[in-house]
Amino acid sequence: MRHFLSLKDFTKTEILQIVDLAIEIKKELKSGTCKPYLQNKTLAMIFEKSSTRTRVSFETGMFQLGGHALFLSNRDIHLGRGEPVRDTARVISSMNDLVMIRTFDHAMIEEFAAYSKVPVINGLTDSYHPVQLLADYMTLVEHNHTQGLKVAYVGDGNNMTHSWLMLAAKLGFELRIATPVGYECDPKIVAHAREMAKESGALIVTCNDPKEAVRNATVVTTDTWASMGQEDEKAERISRFEGYMVDDAMMALAAPDALFLHCLPAYRGQEVSESVLEGAQSVVFEEAENRLHVQKGLMVWLDRQR
Ligand code: CP
Ligand code: NVA
């Protein structure tokens, strides 16, 4: 049995297998077929943070696969009133076939997985957002945009950045990250990615200059400057991130056919300009839709490992 907590636990072959399976299942859906790969199976979804895409894509995806999803917010279950994670894990995993969790501390999801009888999927923690990266990579595959891949990430060193580090380290592409001073990635995660990069041949550059990161990039990406849980820091962050907006001038430094990715929700006029988000190079809404398809691929893949 496998859990999907971080891309660091998956090989390049496995990541590509999941994306290929997702593309196949997407084609089936688009041609009007919904094969019941997970008939009568259930997915318990625990949300300790808000979500639009993650909730809708997992719930819809599970239905399309012939199964059922349960939405469990921490306001509704005893976890939010202090029932221990290890007790919750044993109970929920005894009644369901898969569990998805969106929470704060990555250690919570690791503890849950340690006590779970069924695969646990990370639907975002403060440290990682790996299902998003599967959707991002799937979008690049569909655009035939993975040869000579050079990704520039401009913005906050957060769960998205950490997941890009893991993907680059596993797949062996170039990743340039520019963050303001004081908002860098977790140095332990960067060091781990660099260690893994020795095997894959990935090139990982971290700096504090967005222009240096974006020059000749084939993909430009960013994320909100204030993640969930950092709402109180928002005003300060907006002033500290001055010069980090991905706008037309910044996109002009990238390769002419560069694509723009954003996991959404986006804050126009902060980390990205309206013109870039809505522009011809932006594939953000395909990327969002691919959350549905890639997570269906992931759930089927995890179910087949059992
Ligand atoms: N990108 C993403 O995970 O979106 P939600 O927060 O809406 O789920
Ligand atoms: N970094 C953002 C991603 C949202 C999908 C957050 O954690 O809020």
Q: How far is CA 45 from the centre of its chain?
A: 16
The domain made up of 144-282 has a fold known as: Rossmann fold (3.40.50)
| Token output for 297 | 């691929």
Expressed in angstroms and rounded, the spacing between residue 35 Cα and the centre of ligand 2 is 32
Which residues of the chain fall below pLDDT 70? none
Question: From start to end of the chain, where are the E strands?
Answer: 42-47, 68-73, 98-102, 120-122, 150-154, 174-178, 203-207, 219-222, 259-262
| Token output for 279 | 């522009």
pTM of the model: 0.98
Expressed in angstroms and rounded, the spacing between residue 249 Cα and the centre of ligand 2 is 25
Catalytic residue among 162, 237, 263, 270: 263
Which residue CA neighbors atom 1 of ligand 2 most closely? Answer: 227
Q: Which residues contact 219 (CB under 8 A, 6 or more apart)?
A: 140, 145, 149, 150, 151, 152, 258, 259, 260, 261
Catalytic residue among 53, 64, 97, 132: 132
Check if the beta carbon of residue 211 is closer than 8 Å to that of residue 180: no
51/198 Cα distance (integer angstroms) = 36
Active-site residue 102, yes or no?
yes
Of 180, 269, 175, nearest in space to 219 by CA: 175
Check if the beta carbon of residue 168 is closer than 8 Å to that of residue 133: no
Cα end-to-end distance, the chain, whole Å? 5
Question: CB of 53 closer than 6 A to ligand 1?
Answer: yes
Q: Please report the pLDDT score of residue 247 as a whole number.
A: 98
Question: CB of 88 closer than 6 A to ligand 1?
Answer: no
Q: Please report the pLDDT score of residue 72 as a whole number.
A: 98
Check if the beta carbon of residue 295 is closer than 8 Å to that of residue 55: no
Using most ligand atoms within 8 A of CB, pick from 55, 59, 100, 124 the residue to mutate for ligand 1.
Answer: 124
Expressed in angstroms and rounded, the spacing between residue 33 Cα and the centre of ligand 2 is 33
Looking at domain 7-129+291-304, its CATH architecture is 3-Layer(aba) Sandwich (3.40)
Domain boundaries, the chain: 7-129+291-304, 144-282
255/100 Cα distance (integer angstroms) = 37
The angle formed by the CA atoms of residues 272, 174 and 251, to the nearest 5 degrees, is 30
Expressed in angstroms and rounded, the spacing between residue 199 Cα and the centre of ligand 1 is 31
Per-residue pLDDT reduced to its tens digit, 72-131? 999 999 999 999 999 999 999 999 999 999 999 999 999 999 999 999 999 999 999 999
Asked if domains 7-129+291-304 and 144-282 share a fold, the reply is yes
Which residue CA neighbors atom 2 of ligand 1 most closely? Answer: 53
The values of phi and psi at residue 57, to 5°, are -70, -45
Q: Please report the pLDDT score of residue 166 as a whole number.
A: 98
